[in-house]
Amino acid sequence: MKIAFLEDDAAFAADIIEWLEQAGHSVSWFRSGRECVRALSDERYDLCLFDWILPDISGPDVMASLKLKGTLPPVLFLTGRDAEEDVVQVIQAGADDYMVKPPARSVLIARIHAVARRCSAQLRPEPVQDFGSVKVDFGNRRFELDGRAVKLTEKETELALYFFGRVGMLLPRGHLIQVVWGSSPDIDTRTVDVHVSHLRGKLKLMPENGWRLTSVYRQGYRLERVEEDA
């Protein structure tokens, strides 16, 4: 298998790479989240092995960014974070498995093979969901408004997919920059505001249509349903 390995600890990475290569795998090592996002946006990999804490973008944010781009292979997290809520968070976000450092060599190899087998057998399409007047095809990255296709730019599409995948959640501007503009660290926060404004208009995310895409002062944005008056 061709494996993308995201880990900033060089000594630890060297041991894991040796194990994987001796098991017959090809490994590309990335020390930063942005480097990993760029590489996986341009080249196909069979599996990702991700650390959580990195110097720039966290492992979960790298996973979210690649998922938005439609270039996310199966993911196994290999990290020192062992709290139950951490495991739940990344599994719910789309990770396929989770191991705590330091791993046993034989167990790591077995878990990698198990993840690959499981994901190969499933090959399930991403869902198409109706959100009232808006229909979201997550797999094909398409949007319809009242039955008509809506043309969005690439970044508008990724931003909209992220919002509709997290309805009701407060999403900080900095977090949106990391996930949607992950390979561009110097994006002005006003760029996010402009894209949000475009989405609000193109998808009619307004109270009269059952939605509110609001700016929360000094925090970020939230997409939420508007309850009809009884």
223: left (phi over 0), alpha (psi -120 to 50) or beta: beta
Burial class (CB in 10 A: 0-12, 13-18, 19+), 142: middle
Quickly count: other Cβ atoms within 10 Å of residue 230's Cβ.
3
Gap between the Cα atoms of 161 and 173, Å rounded: 16
Q: How much of the chain exceeds pLDDT 90, in percent?
A: 60
118 pLDDT band (50/70/90 cuts)?
confident
Q: What is the mean pLDDT of residues 68-87?
A: 89
CA distance 49 to 75: 6
Residue 183 has pLDDT above 80, yes or no: no
Domains of the chain as residue ranges with CATH: 2-122 (3.40.50.2300), 128-225 (1.10.10.10)
SS3 55: coil
Which residues, other chains included, contact 198 with Cβ-Cβ below 8 Å and sequence gap of 6+? 153, 156
Confidence of residue 60 (pLDDT cuts 50, 70, 90): very high
Q: How far apart are CA 199 and CA 205, in angstroms?
A: 7
Could you tell me which residue, 125 or 27, shows the higher pLDDT?
27
Q: How many CB atoms lie within 10 A of CB 37?
A: 26
Q: With helix as H, strand as E and coil as C, how does 107-147 read?
A: HHHHHHHHHHHHHHHHCCCCCEEEECCEEEECCCCEEEECC
- pLDDT tens-place string over residues 121-164: 555 556 789 998 999 998 889 999 999 999 999 999 999 999 99
